[in-house]
């Protein structure tokens, strides 16, 4: 029996990889190392059902499952260094773990506002300021929930998916929520202004205040806690709490320490990989939010932070490591979703903010829209139109001329 696989990161990618390795017949040791003390859980529910207190974190597998599948699960454990020559990693306790294959599934850290927004204030670090929250881990959500009360004033900085989902959940709980976003609309970077405006109306109709086209230039502080958010239009929003949702940073410190090639920030950064998850060092792989995989041609890389993308990567990488790699197939159509209030918004394909948008079905908050670029279909986005979106998967993969598609509607 060989040294097996050490997976650094016990999130969705790491757990699915361990599962797929066993399904592929891989019998050598598999060790999963996680920084958090909790059993590995699914992150998407955190900003929704978990934040609303409707349930606890959704565990990906039971403790018994790891034992039954002979997967060593090390929780509350951080990998501190990698010895490529000795094929070992060291953890915080001083223990070393041997590996034949090493997988980095280290994920992301949330991005905070720069500390210079505190210039002239009594505090020096945004991350350590009272009343400042992010939504990335189960502990983050628990800390935010402890400060909630009916009517609490909350400014959500950033109107991407996490910001909008969090704002919707907090508003549902009775908070007075204001979203601040420098782009022209919510979800602008992902879905463009027209679709963003529809989502924005969904929020304002339910009492959320949305301030787009303005950025944060400062925070006011009192007694070690945030008291206000200063905007670049000169106004100040008095607040009790702020939630920062302005993106995340790939956790690449371990990758850098051993000289792995990193991707350019223009394509999302992260660890550069081929289409099978192999990094620039033989025997070292990466997957999930931290990984930047090439396509089957080896020419295109882009880091993608979607649940389904990570699941697909885990299947491919398991076959690579287990030696059961299949012939290259067409890449899966990208799919992601967001739940805000009682509306599910789904997306297939690779729509971009500057694509042409064609709304083909609309009924109040429900709609279906096609995205096109250079006359070809690039994606389908629907709100409250689950069936209509999902039946377009093959069509999106085929990327037909948009005019041809519109004539059928």
Is residue 42 scored above 70 in pLDDT?
Answer: yes
- The structural architecture, per CATH, of the domain 112-246 is 3-Layer(bba) Sandwich (3.50)
User: d(Cα 62, Cα 59) in Å, to the nearest integer?
Assistant: 7
Q: Which of 41, 42, 2 lies closest to 21 in space, CA to CA?
A: 2
Average pLDDT over residues 7-14: 98
User: d(Cα 388, Cα 298) in Å, to the nearest integer?
Assistant: 33
Return mean pLDDT, the chain. 94
Give the range among 158-167, 249-258, 323-332, 394-403 with minimum mean pLDDT: 323-332
In tens, the pLDDT along 266-285 reads: 888 999 999 999 999 999 99
**What is the value of pTM for the model shown?**
0.93
Examine domains 5-109+249-322 and 112-246 and report if their fold is the same.
yes
What is the band of 286 on the pLDDT scale with cuts at 50, 70, 90? Answer: very high
Is residue 86 scored above 90 in pLDDT?
Answer: yes
For residue 382, list its beta bridge partners: 346, 368
In tens, the pLDDT along 149-176 reads: 989 999 999 999 999 999 999 999 999 9
Is residue 88 scored above 90 in pLDDT?
Answer: yes
What is the band of 299 on the pLDDT scale with cuts at 50, 70, 90? Answer: low
- The structural architecture, per CATH, of the domain 5-109+249-322 is 3-Layer(bba) Sandwich (3.50)
Domain boundaries in the chain?
Answer: 5-109+249-322, 112-246, 342-407
Is residue 16 scored above 60 in pLDDT?
Answer: yes
Instruction: Report whether CATH 1.10.3430.10 matches the domain 342-407.
Output: no
Is residue 330 scored above 80 in pLDDT?
Answer: no
What is the band of 122 on the pLDDT scale with cuts at 50, 70, 90? Answer: confident
pLDDT of residue 331: 53
Average pLDDT over residues 171-193: 96
pLDDT above 70: percentage of residues in the chain: 97
pLDDT of residue 124: 84
Average pLDDT over residues 238-262: 97
């Amino acid at each position: 029996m060989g040294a097996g696989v050490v997976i650094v990161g016990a999130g969705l990618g790491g757990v699915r990889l361990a599962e797929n390795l066993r399904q592929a017949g891989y019998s050598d040791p598999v060790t999963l190392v996680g920084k958090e003390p909790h059993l590995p859980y699914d992150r998407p529910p955190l900003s929704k059902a978990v934040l609303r207190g409707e349930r606890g974190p959704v565990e990906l597998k039971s403790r018994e499952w790891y034992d039954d599948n002979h997967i060593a699960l090390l929780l509350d454990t951080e990998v501190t260094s990698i010895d490529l020559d000795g094929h070992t990693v060291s953890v915080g306790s001083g223990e070393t773990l041997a590996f034949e294959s090493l997988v980095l599934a280290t994920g992301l850290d949330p991005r905070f506002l720069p500390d210079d927004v505190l210039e002239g204030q009594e505090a020096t670090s945004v991350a350590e300021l009272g009343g400042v929250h992010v939504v990335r881990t189960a502990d983050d959500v628990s800390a935010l929930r402890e400060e909630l009360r009916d009517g609490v004033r909350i400014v959500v900085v950033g109107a991407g998916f996490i910001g909008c989902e969090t704002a919707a959940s907090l508003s549902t709980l009775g908070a007075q929520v204001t979203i601040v976003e420098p782009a022209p609309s919510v979800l602008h970077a992902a879905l463009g202004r027209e679709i963003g405006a529809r989502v924005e109306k969904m929020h304002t109709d339910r009492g959320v205040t949305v301030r787009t086209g303005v950025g944060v230039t400062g925070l006011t502080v009192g007694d070690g806690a945030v008291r206000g958010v200063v905007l670049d239009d000169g106004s100040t929003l008095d607040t009790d709490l702020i939630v920062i949702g302005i993106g995340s940073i790939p956790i690449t410190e371990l990758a850098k320490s051993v000289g792995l090639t990193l991707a350019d920030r223009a394509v999302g950064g992260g660890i550069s990989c081929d289409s099978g998850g192999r990094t620039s060092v033989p025997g070292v792989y990466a997957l999930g939010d931290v990984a930047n995989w090439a396509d089957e041609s080896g020419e295109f890389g882009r880091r993608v932070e979607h649940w389904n993308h990570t699941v697909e990567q885990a299947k491919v990488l398991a076959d690579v490591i287990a030696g059961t790699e299949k012939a290259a197939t067409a890449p899966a159509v990208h799919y992601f979703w967001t739940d805000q209030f009682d509306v599910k918004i789904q997306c297939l394909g690779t729509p971009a903010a500057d694509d042409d948008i064609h709304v083909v079905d609309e009924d109040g908050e429900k709609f279906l829209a096609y995205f096109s670029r250079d006359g070809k279909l690039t994606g389908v986005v629907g709100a409250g139109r689950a069936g209509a979106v999902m039946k377009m998967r093959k069509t999106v993969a085929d990327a037909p001329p948009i005019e041809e598609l519109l004539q059928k509607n």
